[in-house]
Amino acid sequence: MPTMKPIVNLNGSSRHSLIEARKKARLAIMAAMDAMRDMAPHGRDYIGNAEALGRDAEVFSGRMMALRQMEEDILSEALALFGSN
């Protein structure tokens, strides 16, 4: 996923506020990932239907991977802002 690359300048948001916004977003994504773990497919909910369990496990995995990727992208943005001049 492409990352955002704001340019820190005197007329824009401060470096601190840009980084803090990303920290806040990362924490929210991490909280969402924790909440998602509670809805992970479990075999006891698919008795007699292994195909549905497999399908839903793939859906769940895709959702978690999307959140993980977003969290990593936002971390990358924050680190780039922290290291920029």
Tell me the per-residue pLDDT of 1-50, one tens digit each, with 9 for 90 and over: 788 999 999 999 999 999 999 999 999 999 999 999 999 999 999 999 99
Q: Residue holding tokens 């773990």?
A: 37
pLDDT the model gives residue 61: 98
